[in-house]
Amino acid sequence: MADFLDSDIAKFAVAAVREASILVRRVQAEMVGEAITKGDKSPVTVADFAAQAIVARRLAERFPDAVLVGEESSGALQGEESRATLDQITRFVQSVEPAATAESVCEWIDHGSNDAPATFWTLDPVDGTKGFLRKDQYAVALALVENGKVVLGVLGCPELEDGVRAAKGGAGAVLLAGRGQGTWVQSLAEPNGKWTRLTASKIADPAGARLLRSVEKSHTDADSIGDLATKLGVTADPVPMDSQAKYAVLAAGGGDVILRLLSPSRPDYREMIWDQAAGSIVVEEAGGRVSDLDGKPLDFSHGRTLATNRGVLVTNGPLHEAFLAGLKEIGA
C-alpha cells in the first residue's frame, strides 16, 4: 500500500485536489458573506471555474497527454458581460499561479472540457454547490477512468474531519482510493500528514441502517425513500447531506446507505460521471458496494453521463441485497 500512496499518480491527484479545495475554501471565505443575496450564484461560478483551471493546469504540467473531462467550459465566460467574473476568477487563480492571465485561465479551463475517450480524468470542481453556498458540505472530486471503470478517486472535503462527521470550520479531509489499494484519509491541512485506512460499517440488519440522502428535494425522491424505509423497518430518519461528502462519510463508517432515487420531476435524469466517479471508488475500496437502482454496476464508458444506469444505490456491502429487493418491491 505504501507503494500506492507514494505513486506519482496518487500524489499528483491528491496534490491537485488539495490545492483546488483550499482555493475553493478561500473563495467561500471571501465571497459568501451574510450580505449575500439569495440566488446570487457568483461565488459558485468563481469557485467552480478557478478550481477547474488549476486542476487542468496541474494535469497538463504533470501528464501532458492526459485528457480531462470537467463540468465547466470557458464559453460561459466569454463576452463583455462576464468580464468582471473572469477577472475575479483570474485573481483567485493568481493566488496559487502568479503567471495566470484571463486568457490562460480560459485556456486551462478548456483543457478540461473534453468528450470522454477510453482513458480520462473527470472532475467536479465544486460538487454540492448549494452546500457550498450554505457553508454546509461540498466536495472537490477527481477520478481516473479506464475503459468504463474508475481506477483512482480523490475527494477533497473541506467540511469533514477524518472523513467521519460534519465538522464545520475544521481542518477538512482528503480521501484517496485506488482499485485494489483501499481507501485512505489525510487531513486537508497536512500535506505530509499520516494516511489512515477507512472501512465501511458491517451493519447487516436494515432496521439499524443509517440512511443518507441529498438535501435538494429535486435531486431524489424523498417520498419513495420514506416508503422504502417503512418497508424495510428502518428506524432512524435519513440524514440530508450535499455532495459526495456522503460517500466519504459512508466509507468512514459514519453512514450505511445512500439513496439516489429518481426525482418524480426528472424521471429520465441520468447521473453525470463526475458526480459519481470519485465517490464510488472511495466507497468500494472501503468495502462498500455501488450499483444503480436495478443492481447494475455503474458504467463510465458512455461519455459525460451514466447513460445506461438509473439512479444510484450505495451501501456498506452487507445491506445491498436487502435494499435492492426493497427498491424492487416499492417499484422505484
- 242 counts as binding ligand AMP under rule CB under 6 A: yes
Selected binder of ligand AMP within 243, 276, 291, 315 (CB under 6 A): 243
Residues sharing a CB contact under 8 Å with residue 45, sequence separation 6 or more, in sequence order: 85, 89
**Which of these ranges, 26-34, 52-60, 215-223, 324-332, lies near ligand AMP under the rule CB under 6 A?**
215-223
Q: Which of 45, 48, 110, 136 is catalytic?
A: 48
| C-alpha span between 330 and 52 (Å, rounded) | 40
In order, the DSSP letters of 316-331 are: -STTHHHHHHHHHHHT
Site string for ligand AMP, 245-264 (x = CB under 6 A): ------------------x-
Between 100 and 262, name the residue whose CB sits nearer to ligand AMP: 262
- 9 counts as binding ligand AMP under rule CB under 6 A: no
Between 12 and 300, name the residue whose CB sits nearer to ligand AMP: 300
Between 144 and 229, name the residue whose CB sits nearer to Mg ion: 144
| C-alpha span between 152 and 277 (Å, rounded) | 9
CB 132 within 8 A of CB 43: yes
Between 240 and 317, name the residue whose CB sits nearer to ligand AMP: 240
Q: Where are the alpha helices (DSSP H) in 252-294?
A: 277-284
What 8-state DSSP symbol labels residue 135? Answer: T
Give the bridge partners for 212, in sequence order: 239, 258
Residues 106-145 that bind Mg ion (CB under 5 A): 124, 127
Least separation in angstroms between CB 143 and Mg ion? 12
H or E stretch at 128: none
Least separation in angstroms between CB 214 and ligand AMP? 3
Distance of CA 99 to the CA centre of its chain: 29
Residues 119-138 that bind ligand AMP (CB under 6 A): 127-128
CB 85 within 8 A of CB 42: yes
- 57 counts as binding ligand AMP under rule CB under 6 A: no
Active site residue 48: yes
Site string for Mg ion, 247-286 (x = CB under 5 A): ----------------------------x-----------
95: three-class secondary structure by DSSP: coil
219's contact among ligand AMP, Mg ion, none, with CB below 5 to 8 A by partner kind, is ligand AMP
- 72 counts as binding Mg ion under rule CB under 5 A: no
Give the dihedral sign, CA 182/13/95/89.
Answer: negative
- 216 counts as binding ligand AMP under rule CB under 6 A: yes
Residue type (1 letter), 6: D
Instruction: Select the residue whose beta carbon is closest to ligand AMP and give its number.
Output: 214
Active site residue 205: no
CB 304 within 8 A of CB 272: yes
- 266 counts as binding ligand AMP under rule CB under 6 A: yes
CA torsion angle 115 269 177 242 (round to 10): 120
Catalytic residue list: 48, 129
User: Which stretches of the chain bind Mg ion, using CB under 5 A?
Assistant: 124, 127, 275
